[in-house]
Structure 1
Amino acid sequence: MLEYFIQQRDRTYEEMADAFLRLDEPAAISARHLGRLARGERGSAGATPATRRALQAMFGMPLDDLLRPWTPELAIAQPATDDGSLVLPSPGNERSLIRMAAERARRFTLLAAESTTPEAVEQLRDDVQRLALAYPQRPLTELLGDMVETQDTLFALLERRQTPQQARQLHFLTAVTSGLLAKASHDLADPHAAMLQARTAVLCADQADHNGLRAWLRGLQSMVAYWAGRYAEAVRFAEAGTNIAAGTAGTTSVWLPVSAARGYAALGNSAKALSAIRAAEEAWNRVEPDEVDELGGICTFNQPRTLYYAADALAWLPNEADQAVDFSTRAVNAFANPNDPAWAFGDQAGSHSDLAIARIAARDLEGAIEAVTPVLDLPPSQRINGIVHSVQRVHQAAILAGLAAEGRDLLQQIEDFTSTPLKALPR
């Protein structure tokens, strides 16, 4: 946040350091130290009271808030002028101020009490559910700050003494939130961080003693491994999760076998891939939503995602071209309505990419271009890791099919698209 506000003022660190002296002489700070604070290389522990006062007067925020990761919600705050006087919000900004006030009230409610209250746990569940519902439909840049903040709050609460029931609930919510951050790390093309978050989530799921949650996290680990090109590992995670889910009936019992299908297909094992797809379809007959499914969004697996995963598996198998066209077409249709609660921009893009691959296998280049064009129109903020890899598979399929010359324009568009993924955006 500090770096953001300095950039907004179009000032150098030297100029800002000089402004400190005009506010409070004891708050003198070197441009080098200020730059380290702004880049997150130094924490607040070593700051003097005078420096804290000067920073709050200059930017209208406590130092701890200024050193938090940038979020749109915090950026709405109006910084003070260099002489310490606060800038009044412009007319029409009232809703933003209300949201800021609500966030401050929320954090006070959660952390002010000596022990965790039932109201605080309920508030956190609402927060986690909101993030789970929003994740498939909104750009990660809009949600990441909230996810980090929620995980930090949950960690802080777990360090306190809790009743066994509250500890179980907090560990459950921490596991889900860490799972969301595992997905976020994966979307930013950082599989190492993704697996680290996933292992933390598994530890919390064990403390919550929830098999449905353990199985869901194995599904996440399988997904991370799949997109990292570790297909055998993706199968192992999916099958380990299937064993855990044997005594449960949540929608994860569908996700895990169809995840294994993708891994088997990428390894060229057509028989096991097709068997896993059939197992996933049959699992729908036994599904009964569990506590993880109740959160909704990314925490529940639905029929459109089943079609997409099956299409993604079949796209690897040359002898299953007709089925690949069928499943990918059905998946594209299932994700056609962005107002549908089951809609997810990442799964929609993957479905379109799989349809393009299936059409390339039939040497229908024009149809492939039609299928993948909506994906290539996505803004960089939605070019998550899985989408980038899906589009790269279209590129590879066109080359392997001998369509490089005929599809030169398509290949160039794909190369331009993949040159600016989400991970390349400034953060």
Structure 2
Amino acid sequence: MNRGAPRTLLEQLIQQRDQTVAEAASEFKAKARELDEPATLSPRHLRRWMNGEASDAYPASRRVARQLWGAPLEDLLGPPSAEAPAVPTVAERRRSVAHPPVNDLGRLPTHGIFEELAMAADDSARFVRRARTVLSPEVLEQLNADVVHLAEQYLGTTPYQMFRPLAELRKDVFELIDSHPRPEYTKDLYRIAGLVSALLGHVSSDLGYTYGVETHTRMVLTCADLSGADQLRGYAYWVQAQVAYWQKEYQRSAELARRGLDSAALSGSDVLRLTSQEARALAALGDERETALVLQYAADAREQALGERAQPGIFDFAPGKAA
């Protein structure tokens, strides 16, 4: 599709990434979430930016834009640059994987070999998950490794790219559950299904699909009950509380965070995540007394979280993110 000459540096960068406006807006939302910034950007609003109009951009939106596109918003709204970094298109990236160029020493270039290595690892993981007719510790180990890998990948990958591998992994887990495994493996399978469902909930949230968020988090809660994993339950309520917050349902957001805190056996990081969300919601409601009280709970949880092992990828809630 011929898009015509870009009018701004921002439009130039988006064209170089071979993205649609909707994809770029979703990437902005995902970046805002990663940075814990209260910023969002609709495709319609992004089109205005691409046209050089952003007089009403909030500071949080400006910060996210700078992190995502590598330049201040004022520069992004300015004319295209002949020195803008060339970003390969999707088609070019696909061709580089199918027919990777070879350097002078007959080896694949660094970016090509990593893509090839990733595809080979995916094939091995899929074989381990599906090759055995009887569930074994090796299969469970592979499933856990897959969850960790995808959770870490999420931090640097668009939601569109995350959806298919997550959906395929959960399908594999469901098939294993349906195969009536030995009782000692059942709880682990439900826990893993809950973790993957939580990641699918993140995808739905980043893409603005509220029904998907609610459905996947209900699945997480079901898996938490079946596996006895209280941390899953707390995490699901946090995701729901976040969605309610972005929808400006601040009272519901605070209530969902409190419900998550009622879960037993939460780590300091889990408590910090939920109390921080509750404090944000209460602050938005203007309840200064309750906000101060919850912030004190968050401070106590932060001290506990400092000595804990970090969770993988997007599941981690570092003390620095706290309210």
Q: What band does the TM-score fall into relative to the shorter chain? A: 0.5 to 0.7
Quick one: structure 1 residues 294 and 303, their matched pair in 2 at CA, closer, same or farther if it must change by over 3 Å? closer
**Are 1:122 and 2:141 matched, yes or no?**
yes
**Are 1:216 and 2:232 matched, yes or no?**
no
Figure out how many residues of one structure are paired with residues of the other and give that number.
226
Question: Whole-Å Cα distance in 2 between the matches of residues 75 and 235 of structure 1?
Answer: 48
Paired residue type of 2:277: S
Assess if the C-alpha contact under 8 Å between 1:232 and 1:263 holds in 2: yes
Question: Whole-Å Cα distance in 2 between the matches of residues 289 and 189 of structure 1?
Answer: 35
Assess if the C-alpha contact under 8 Å between 1:74 and 1:100 holds in 2: no
Assess if the C-alpha contact under 8 Å between 2:305 and 2:319 holds in 1: no
> What are the superposed Cα offsets for residues 90-119 of structure 1, whole Å, 9 maximum, x if unpaired?
654565444334322321221121121211
Assess if the C-alpha contact under 8 Å between 2:151 and 2:313 holds in 1: yes
> What are the superposed Cα offsets for residues 140-185 of structure 1, whole Å, 9 maximum, x if unpaired?
3443332222222212221112122211111111111111111111
State the 1:261 CA deviation: 0.9
**Are 1:190 and 2:209 matched, yes or no?**
yes
Deviates more, 1:277-286 or 1:254-263: 277-286
Quick one: structure 1 residues 289 and 141, their matched pair in 2 at CA, closer, same or farther if it must change by over 3 Å? farther
Equivalence for 2:303: 285
**Bigger relative contact order, structure 1 or 2, given CA contacts below 8 A and separation 6+?**
2
Assess if the C-alpha contact under 8 Å between 1:169 and 1:208 holds in 2: yes
**Are 1:259 and 2:269 matched, yes or no?**
no
Equivalence for 2:315: 299
Q: How does 1:267-278 map to 2 (within 5 A)?
A: 267-278=285-296
Secondary structure of the corresponding residue to residue 135 of structure 1: helix
Identity %: 25
Assess if the C-alpha contact under 8 Å between 2:275 and 2:294 holds in 1: yes
Question: Whole-Å Cα distance in 1 between the matches of residues 306 and 266 of structure 2?
Answer: 8
Assess if the C-alpha contact under 8 Å between 1:115 and 1:161 holds in 2: no
What residue ranges of structure 2 are gaps of 5+ in the alignment?
1-89, 103-107
Question: Whole-Å Cα distance in 2 between the matches of residues 206 and 173 of structure 1?
Answer: 13
Secondary structure of the corresponding residue to residue 263 of structure 2: helix
Quick one: structure 1 residues 135 and 104, their matched pair in 2 at CA, closer, same or farther if it must change by over 3 Å? closer
**Are 1:111 and 2:130 matched, yes or no?**
yes
Paired residue type of 2:126: R
Assess if the C-alpha contact under 8 Å between 1:133 and 1:295 holds in 2: no
Paired residue type of 1:303: P
Secondary structure of the corresponding residue to residue 133 of structure 2: coil
Q: How does 1:27-106 map to 2 (within 5 A)?
A: 78=98, 91=102, 92=108, 96-106=115-125
Paired residue type of 1:268: G
What residue ranges of structure 1 are gaps of 5+ in the alignment?
1-69, 79-87, 311-427
- TM-score scaled by length of structure 1: 0.48
Question: Whole-Å Cα distance in 2 between the matches of residues 100 and 74 of structure 1?
Answer: 13
Equivalence for 2:19: none
State the 1:288 CA deviation: 8.4
State the 1:193 CA deviation: 0.8
Equivalence for 1:314: none
Question: Whole-Å Cα distance in 2 between the matches of residues 74 and 208 of structure 1?
Answer: 40
Equivalence for 1:171: 190
